[in-house]
Amino acid sequence: MKFIFEKDTWQEIYGAIRKNKIRTVITVIGVTWGVFLFVILLGMAKGLDNSFRSQFNDFATNTMFVWGQQTSIPNGGFKRGRRMQLTLDDVATLESQVDDIEYITPRNVTGQWGTPPGQFVRGSKSGAFKVFGDYPTIDKVSKKKIFDGGRFINEEDIKYERKVCVIGEDIYKQFYDKDEEAIGDFVRINGIYFKVIGVYKPTQSGFEGDDSIFLPFTTFQTIFNQGKDISWMVITAKQDKNIVNTEATIKTMLKRMHNVHPDDTQAFGSFNLGKEVAKVSGFLSGMRLITYIVGIATLIAGVIAIGNVLLITVKERTREIGVRRALGATPAEVRGQIMLESVLLTFVAGLIGFVFGTLVLWGINTAIGNNDDIPILNPSVDFFAAIGALLSIVLLGTLIGLIPAQKAVSIKPIEALREE
Amino acid sequence: MIEIKDLHKSYQMGSNSLHVLKGIDFSVEDGELVAIMGSSGSGKSTLLNILGMLDEADSGSYFLDNVPIKGLNETKAAQYRNKFLGFVFQSFNLINYKTALENVALPLYYQRKKRKERTETAMSYLGKVGLADWATHLPSELSGGQKQRVAIARALAADPKVLLADEPTGALDSTTSYEVMDIIQSINDEGKTILVVTHEQDIADMCKRIVHLKDGVIVEDKKVEQVRASQYVG
């Protein structure tokens, strides 16, 4: 093995490779392409993953929604089919009694589930839209992009029941000219004047869409005469708690508080975001696995191409190999040279593919920038995955190089020289 | 230098066995210039291949410089070839992507000589065959005679005990053939032992001894008055 570290060996190999340019280029293309695809695939998968994780931050992954429905089992003298209405008292009770809860936020909406939508009027135009009554914390769960100059509802708005609203991008487009300033403008909702403080655009699919209106929770309560009633509540469990357990605890408590039979599964509905996130995560993991399989298969195909070309090359170089052996090259030296050629070619090809792949990823990243329409964020390849891929290429190159090397050694010098 | 006793060699051709060498007794002294003649199929190339350790005899003994050549593995054979023998082929067998200088330096590479030493030695042998100015040229840029001179320089580079030439002039016209023989003679004059396989009488006459092979046996072995090739070379 000593010869690997000798400068002369490499000069000999370099000579052989350099003087067979076309062959070298063709050989290299397969692996370069394989590594290139491998890097791009992994990078894009990573980008999707990053994008997903940036939307569903840690906060959201531990979140659930609960709302009232109708009972399905008679209980405590009540008939079945009783309508359940959640109230602010429920929120207060849960907050004080369930330790798992990090945040609990009530929400109100009109224009959904049979309730009448709000009438939105600006100048001579009018339209009907869903109206939400919300606390500022809701933005953490259901992320929205607020356009420049605007803001979302804040604690002050809640405290003073300010008549301010955040409108969807679609509403803005319907009611305002292009480049017309909406912030600070006054509009009427159900006959009452509101000041527009922001225009939003959802960054993920949700039932708010881009044509809803957000009001401070307290303002909504007063204007739509809600009293203590709420549409549903959003609950985020503490980081170290399992949201699935929290969901069960909360439902059990709500049933007790509302005099519902413990086995009644219909009285309260819930949607567990944590579970959904886990599903999408699973999907992404599956995709990453497929990426790896496809990438590695491409790599193997590339390396096999190298082996193939080298095998043809050995046939082509039969005479050269015969001459070398007549001049005193030992079988080990011949084998070593062919194998090192294979390893060197695969390694260099891999490196080129890697550099190109990284450049293209970088280009994609620059092109996308912070565009929220494309669900790819910071596509990149893990350093260790890259090193691992390069190492496995060298290993594969060595293995595949064994075949032509053995072929080269099996040629008897006398036969090689006789061949015309 | 070379001692051969009762050498036999047959080839299997399907179910038939072809007996090519049928008991060769042959010895070569230091500094001889021997022509091995014979028509095709006489076994002269087989004999040369066995002498060159490219092939092995079925029976009989072969001593080269008092070293028994028998049952060598490929690695050992390669080392012996490198140390003892220089080859010149009819079709030159230069490596086409290496320059004249690199071709000549190749045996020295397998002797693990330092690059600087290889280049210097190779250059001096190229000078010896009159091709110092062509050192950086590829074989494709050389004429047939020049290629064969490079091949001779390469065969000499490792300073072998014996030079084996298999039809060295077979691919050359007569003028160029004499130039090549002139070089071979001058190398022999310096004391190198040389065996030339040929079927051309005029080439054989330029050696000091002619061995005739026919049907696998030596039919004639005589010393001759050497014809100097230099008289034909302008």
Q: Which two tokens stand for residue B118?
A: 């290889």
Nearest 5°: phi and psi at A189?
-120, 120
In chain B, residues 19-78 whose CB comes closer than 8 Å to chain A: 49, 52, 54-55, 74-75, 78
Q: Helices A88-97 & A243-257, crossing angle to 10 degrees?
A: 130
- Render pLDDT for A186-197 as a digit per residue (tens, 0 to 9): 888 888 888 888
**Do strands A186-189 and A118-122 pair parallel, antiparallel, or not at all (unpaired)?**
antiparallel
Does A324 touch chain B if contact means CB atoms closer than 8 Å? Answer: yes
Q: What is the pLDDT of residue A205?
A: 52
ipTM of the complex: 0.87
A/B interface, count of CB pairs below 8 Å = 70
Residues linked to residue A20 through DSSP beta bridges, in sequence order: none
- Render pLDDT for A64-83 as a digit per residue (tens, 0 to 9): 888 888 888 888 788 888 88
Q: Which two tokens stand for residue A299?
A: 């790599």
Query: How far does CA A194 lie from the centroid of its chain?
Result: 37
- Render pLDDT for A241-294 as a digit per residue (tens, 0 to 9): 777 788 888 888 888 888 888 888 888 888 887 777 778 778 888 888 888 888
Are the Cβ atoms of A327 and B75 closer than 8 angstroms? no
Q: What is the pLDDT of residue A2?
A: 59
d(C-alpha A190, C-alpha A121), whole Å? 8
The closest alpha carbon to A162, from A79, A96, A219, A220, belongs to A219
Residues linked to residue A132 through DSSP beta bridges, in sequence order: A109, A214
Asked if residues B80 and B69 have their Cβ atoms less than 8 Å apart, the reply is yes
Of chain A, the percentage scoring pLDDT greater than 90 comes to: 0
The closest alpha carbon to A411, from A296, A297, A323, belongs to A323
Interface test with B, best of A327, A415, A418, A419 (most B CBs within 10 A): A327
d(C-alpha A353, C-alpha B53), whole Å? 46
How close A415 comes to chain B (CA, Å)? 9
Q: What residues in A contact B78, CB-CB < 8 Å?
A: 325, 328-331, 333
Does B113 touch chain A if contact means CB atoms closer than 8 Å? Answer: no
Residues 6+ apart with CB under 8 A from B91: A420, B171
Of chain A, the percentage scoring pLDDT greater than 70 comes to: 92
Does A372 touch chain B if contact means CB atoms closer than 8 Å? Answer: no
pLDDT above 70 (res A355):
yes
d(C-alpha A139, C-alpha A129), whole Å? 19
Biggest CA–CA distance in chain B, Å, is 54
pLDDT above 70 (res A121):
yes
Q: What residues in A contact B93, CB-CB < 8 Å?
A: 319, 322-323, 326, 417
d(C-alpha A132, C-alpha A213), whole Å? 6
Does A406 touch chain B if contact means CB atoms closer than 8 Å? Answer: no
Rounded to 5°, angle at Cα A233 from A231 and A237: 170
d(C-alpha A115, C-alpha A109), whole Å? 8
Are the Cβ atoms of A331 and B110 closer than 8 angstroms? no
Q: Which amino acid is at B213?
A: L
The predicted model gives A402-418 an average pLDDT of: 78
The predicted model gives B92-105 an average pLDDT of: 89
pLDDT above 90 (res B210):
yes
Are the Cβ atoms of A325 and B78 closer than 8 angstroms? yes
DSSP 8-state symbol, A5: G
**Do strands B162-166 and B85-88 pair parallel, antiparallel, or not at all (unpaired)?**
parallel
Q: What residues in B contact A329, CB-CB < 8 Å?
A: 78, 110
Whether the predicted model's global pTM rises above the 0.80 cut: no
- Render pLDDT for B39-77 as a digit per residue (tens, 0 to 9): 887 888 888 888 988 888 888 899 988 888 888 888 888
- Render pLDDT for A328-349 as a digit per residue (tens, 0 to 9): 888 888 888 888 888 888 888 8
Candidates A11, A12, A327; nearest CB to B82: A327
The predicted model gives A211-230 an average pLDDT of: 82
